[in-house]
Structure formats: C-alpha cells, structure tokens
A and B are shown apart, each in its own frame.
Chain A
Amino acid sequence: MKSENVLLIFRSNIMYKPLIYRLSKDFDIIFNILEAKILPRREGRILLELRGEEDQLLKGVTFLEENRVVVEHLSDKVWREEDLCVHCGACTGLCPTGALSLVRPKMEVVFDVNKCVACGMCGLACPFGAMKDITLFDPFAEGRTVN
C-alpha cells in the first residue's frame, strides 16, 4: 500500500462529471477528501489522499488525466528551502498533520511531504519564508486555471 496526496483541478467543462468514485470502483483506491472547493461554473478543486497499490494508483491518476482532470502531486508542489530553515520549530505547533515535526532530543525540524495537505499554515508561521507551498484557495498559486 502506498499513500499520496494530490490536488485535482476540474475545469469548467468537466466539473460536473462524476469521476472520483471510479478510483474506488475500478482501481481499488481508498480516497480521503481533505479539502474541496467548488466555484460554480468556473472550477472545482479537491485535495485528496489516495491509498492503494502502486500500479493501481498510477492507473487511477492516468484515468483522471485522460478525463482532463489536472492532477498536481503535492510532493512536487510543496517543499522546504533547506537553506532558509533555522530549525526553530515555529511551524510544528500549527501543522495539522504532523508533516512538520521536531526530532528530539536534537530539536531539528523534519518535513515529511507525504503527510502534507498544503493547508498553508507553515507558510504563515515561518519567519524566514522557508516553506514553499500552494494552498487550495490561493488564487496566485501554481496550477491555477484561467477561463
């Protein structure tokens, strides 16, 4: 079993098409909706955690892409600028999934991108701009679709 967090963008031409249930039905993928937003007639965005066998995950994502869903892998979109991080830990109290955590007793901050749900809290909390992230609602985020 492998787990991955993805951001799906449904453009206006496909946004009312039922597709996500097929992940479960055809590819045995367990999906967990982390966050979703629909701007009526413009765009729908959904943040999903996908769990399943590696080859099935790949097939599932390919299926979505064939159906013109934009699939962004969060692990490609969120990262830490290592040189900017001073390992203070300010982000660790706000990270909702434990993707950012302190390793004791050295008190160094580690970032596990696979746990990240791109909520954007770390970006607000970090005084040094070390967390490069997208958020579901940020209109200037990469991956934004224009009409």
Chain B
Amino acid sequence: MSQFKVKKTVAEINEKIKQGQAVVVTAEEMIGITKELGPVQAARKVDVVTTGTFGIMCSSGAFLNFGHAKPRIKASRVYLNRVEAYAGVAAVDCYIGAAQPREDDPLNKVFPGRFRYGGGHVIEDLVAGREVHLEATAYGTDCYPSRSHEARMKLKDFRDGFLFNPRNGYQNYNCAVNLSKKTIYTYMGILRPDCSNANYSTSGQLSPLLNDPFYRTIGIGTRIFLGGGIGYVVGPGTQHDPGVKRSENGVVMGGAGTIAVMGNLKGMSSKFLRGASITGYGCSLNVGIGIPIPILDEEMARFTGISDDEIFVPVADYGYDYPEGSGGPLTHVTYGQLKTGEVTIDGKKVTTAPLSSYSAALEIAETLKDWIRSGKFLLGEAQETLPSIAFEGFGD
C-alpha cells in the first residue's frame, strides 16, 4: 500500500467529535468536495462522511423475550398477531423473521398474493408502540408447567427486544428486467414482459458499503444508524462476497459485501422500520441504515467521493435466467443512468424505477450527520473489519 499524505485515526476523529470540531458531510456532499479540492485536501478537511439506505431487506428480524409468565412456560410455538416466531430458543425467547407471513395468509393461492401482514409488520407495529397479540403454546415440563400463554403486549412490555439482521445493506445489486412473455411478480417488483420496465434497488452514491468498497473501516463494532436508533455492525452478513468483479475505481459491479447488524429495538422508529408487502412474492421489512465512514486518508476521501455515474449495476433477466440460476448479466448500466428514469438495454429504451428510497436514504445520512456534529454519536472502531481483498490502487 502506498504512503498516504494524510493520516488520521478513528480515536483522533472521535476526539474532534467530542470537542464539536469534526467536519461531517454526507456522501452526496463529499462528491463535490473531493472534485473541488482533490482527495488529499478533501481528506485533510473532512473527518466523517455519512451514508444512508432505506430499502427492502428480507434477511431481518428481531429477538424478543416476552418475560416469564406465572406459572412459567417453555414456549415451543409462539405467534405474534398470528405470525409465527421461531421458538426453538430458550423458554420465553423467540425470533420474529421479517419474511414470515401470517398463519392464515392465502399466500399465492390466488395469484398474485398480496401478503398484507407478516413479520416485518409485527416489528413495525412494536416499534410504533402498537399492541400485538402474543400466543404461546408448550408441551409442559416439571420446571415450566404451563401449556399455553396469551397476552396483549406493547414493545415496552417485552423484557428485551433487539433487531438482529443476518444480511443487510447489500453493497450493490441487480437491476431486474423480464425477458419472458408474461408479467412476473418478483422481490424486485412487478416486471412487465419483453423487457418493458427495469427495477433497481440501491441508494448508489449514498449507499454505505459502496462508500467503503474494501471495508477498510467497517466491521464488528462499527456504530451505525439502524432503524432510526443506534445499532452496530456485528460482522459480515450472509452471502458476503468481496471477490465480485470490480471496476477500476474499486467499486463492485454486482452484489458483493453485506453486513449483519443488531441494535436495541426500543429506541428505533417505525419511520425507518416499515413492514412491506411485495405482491406475488411475500412479506418483508424496509430497514433504514446509515454508516459513518471515517476519512482516515486520501484513499478514503476518494472512495467516498464516488458518484452515481461511476457505479455500475448489472442488468439481470428475472424471466428466465434468475429463477433458473443460469446466465450472467445482460449488460451493465450506471446508477446515474438508472436514476434518469430510462436506460437503453439491447437497443431498446426501458423505463426504470427504484425500489429503495433515495430521499429517505438522504434523510438518514443527514440525521446521522446531525448526531455526529452534536457530539453524542461517536464512531465505533471496528474490532475486525469485514473480509476483503487487496486493492491494487487507482492506477494513476
């Protein structure tokens, strides 16, 4: 690795945050700063860049402890508002997964199903302070004799509740089209036949992992904005893959890095944790995440200064290729092109639509910026960064 002209540590930046002197900007603002000052001066000037994303993240859920009942119960099945929570953990612990539909949901029996209520909605209801109906059943033991327990509970009535998402914040993601002859209903939205529309899901230049493409500052212990409250990165997410093809600027050209995150549910907001119903597909949860990125040197300034025009997104066919697990990307387009509302794929003009809210992502990055500026949110230094690969340098 080359010698850097600017060198800062997370501890030094935290000291500046405590004194209210840290310079904090959003990843969107950093683009202009790096362009204007150059990476070295930008790195001298800026201490922290804040990022944000607010999209559908199915691999999410919450561990809940509903407290011991009298007489005690060792629950073997737990339902919250008729949505099953996994109860194969200790007596009154359970895990409510975002993608779990309600027990009596007709699913896709009448296609496309609407999936109006599921685990994600339970989490939203809890965080919003609404009451949920808990039903637990058990086989009964000497120490836990009760066989059933029912209660109406709000989040404050649960002894503990924390969000634990095994895979969030995908570094980059497919842009989905449909080359088949019929309309399809996917987790990437409704796709009309013959490549008539294209859906994408990333906050691009604001996206957390796209601003630290080699995860130099992100790993277990990184303190983050999570669902409107404070959370932590607890390691690489499932399917984390740093080895995906990268463009010259080091940015991945497809889904690559992921993070596992957790945080106390009490203190989060239903504005940034929203149950989602994906027609024909299932239930899910929209999660708001923002990661602060310390500008340790000019390389980090350059990484965070990346714009939508420099991020390549693979276009994938969800009509045949994706379901079959075959084929590669049809082409690559930039996030900048996707954001205009139209891209050209194979000579055809195709309407594009985002599934991830850019305006909410910006609000998250701005909120995190305010938190850090106020001195109450310090950077958490990663105890171990996410698995990565070596960066050959920018080649100039």
A21 adjacent to chain B (CB < 8 Å): no
**Interface bits B344-375 vs A (CB < 8 Å: 1, else 0):** 00000001111111111010000000000000
Inter-chain contact A89/B355, CB cutoff 8 Å: yes
> Which of A9-17, A34-42, A99-107 lies at the interface with chain B?
A99-107
A36 to B360, CA, bound (A): 39
Total interface residues in chain A, CB < 8 Å: 20
> Which of B138-146, B249-257, B275-283, B317-325 lies at the interface with chain A?
B275-283
B199 adjacent to chain A (CB < 8 Å): yes
Contacts of A92 in B (CB 8 A): 341, 353
Inter-chain contact B354/A124, CB cutoff 8 Å: no
Give the residues from 93 to 131 in chain A that come closer than 8 angstroms, CB to CB, to chain B.
Answer: 93-94, 102, 104, 106-108, 121, 124-125, 127-129
A90 adjacent to chain B (CB < 8 Å): yes
Inter-chain contact A93/B56, CB cutoff 8 Å: no
Given known pairs A86-B357, A86-B360, A108-B359, the reply for A93 and B351 (CB within 8 Å) is yes
Contacts of B192 in A (CB 8 A): 94
Inter-chain contact B339/A107, CB cutoff 8 Å: yes
Given known pairs A124-B112, A127-B284, the reply for A107 and B358 (CB within 8 Å) is yes
Tell me which of A91, A93, A104, A127 contacts B276 (CB under 8 A).
A127
Inter-chain contact B116/A88, CB cutoff 8 Å: no
Inter-chain contact A127/B278, CB cutoff 8 Å: yes
Inter-chain contact B190/A127, CB cutoff 8 Å: no
Given known pairs A93-B351, A94-B197, A124-B112, the reply for A87 and B190 (CB within 8 Å) is no
Tell me which of A93, A127, A128 contacts B353 (CB under 8 A).
A93
Give the residues from 29 to 87 in chain A that come closer than 8 angstroms, CB to CB, to chain B.
Answer: 86-87
Inter-chain contact A129/B353, CB cutoff 8 Å: no
Interface of B, secondary structure class, is strand
A91 to B341, CA, bound (A): 12
Tell me which of B55, B56, B190, B277 contacts A94 (CB under 8 A).
B190
Contacts of A107 in B (CB 8 A): 339, 354, 357-359
- Tell me the smallest distance from the CB of A106 to a CB of chain B, in Å: 6
Given known pairs A92-B353, A93-B189, A128-B274, the reply for A102 and B341 (CB within 8 Å) is yes
Inter-chain contact B276/A128, CB cutoff 8 Å: yes
Inter-chain contact A90/B274, CB cutoff 8 Å: no
Inter-chain contact A104/B353, CB cutoff 8 Å: no
- Tell me the smallest distance from the CB of A36 to a CB of chain B, in Å: 22
B95 adjacent to chain A (CB < 8 Å): no
Inter-chain contact B278/A88, CB cutoff 8 Å: no
Inter-chain contact B197/A93, CB cutoff 8 Å: yes
**Interface bits A14-27 vs B (CB < 8 Å: 1, else 0):** 00000000000000
Contacts of A124 in B (CB 8 A): 112, 190, 279
Contacts of A104 in B (CB 8 A): 339-341
Give the residues from 67 to 83 in chain B that come closer than 8 angstroms, CB to CB, to chain A.
Answer: none
Most B CB contacts (10 A, CB to CB) among A93, A104, A121 go to A93
B378 adjacent to chain A (CB < 8 Å): no
Which residue of chain B has its CB nearest to the CB of A89?
B354
Inter-chain contact B277/A129, CB cutoff 8 Å: yes
Contacts of B277 in A (CB 8 A): 127-129
B286 adjacent to chain A (CB < 8 Å): yes
Inter-chain contact B279/A125, CB cutoff 8 Å: yes
Given known pairs A127-B276, A128-B276, the reply for A90 and B354 (CB within 8 Å) is yes
Which residue of chain A has its CB nearest to the CB of B56?
A127
Question: Could you name 27 residue pairs across A and B whose Cβ atoms are closer than 8 Å?
Answer: A86-B54, A87-B357, A87-B358, A88-B54, A88-B55, A88-B356, A88-B360, A90-B354, A92-B353, A93-B197, A93-B352, A93-B353, A94-B197, A94-B353, A102-B341, A104-B339, A104-B341, A106-B359, A107-B357, A107-B359, A124-B112, A124-B279, A125-B190, A127-B277, A128-B274, A129-B116, A129-B277
**Chain B residues packing against A (C-beta within 8 Å):** 54-56, 112, 116, 189-190, 192, 197-199, 274-279, 284, 286, 339-341, 351-360, 362
**Chain A residues packing against B (C-beta within 8 Å):** 86-94, 102, 104, 106-108, 121, 124-125, 127-129
**Which 9 residue pairs of A and B lie closest in terms of their CB atoms, listed nearest first?**
A93-B353, A107-B358, A127-B276, A89-B354, A88-B357, A93-B197, A87-B359, A92-B353, A124-B279
